[in-house]
Chain A
């Protein structure tokens, strides 16, 4: 079964509204989670690294004031797209790093398709 839950799966919103996406690790603690964006026919692009209890680290070109990340607990990170515009329409995916066990594993949420009208 899924070990990372991402919600919602899809959202349609009006331009100018804010959208919050949740990413939860279900049976492990994740001190680090990652947020990616994927436009059609393109690869996953890392937006930011979310660190529990501290500020997120954003990739170059990603506006931290527009894409707010909160990682308040070891099992939950949220991404809020503020004042969304049509160009923000994309597929957003989170991943969580599981450091338990012999080998580190990276699990992905099922993604959120955001459509801004």
Chain B
């Protein structure tokens, strides 16, 4: 089983739609969780950290479920500019290893 798993997609959604991504992780000792956005052939950029109580930043909402070992990202009112690959990132383990999921590709269609 992969350490961090995501549905690769692609998710093709119309503008204005709401879309949700899930990510599961295998290491129960994982401590920190993040969502990154990566545009084609660019470096990943931090979208938001994920806190235990859930957190929201504008149209983006992230949630963490430690019992089931998954995190989620909800995007409301999708914009064309949201088209990108969204990477789930998990930190933890013996030497604070950072592990990326395979990424979920989102394509917002006009």
Contact = CB atoms under 8 A, between A and B. Distances in A.
A46 B98 CA distance: 8
A91 interface: yes
Contacts of B44: 44, 93, 108
Contacts of A34: 98
Contacts, number: 45
A78 interface: no
Interface residues of A, number: 24
B35 interface: no
Given A106-B34, A106-B46, A111 B98 contact: no
B1 interface: no
A36 to B, nearest CB: 8
Interface of A: 6, 32, 34, 36, 42-46, 49, 57, 91, 93, 95, 97, 103-106, 108-111, 113
Given A44-B44, A46-B98, A109-B43, 4 more contacts: A43-B87, A49-B95, A104-B91, A108-B43
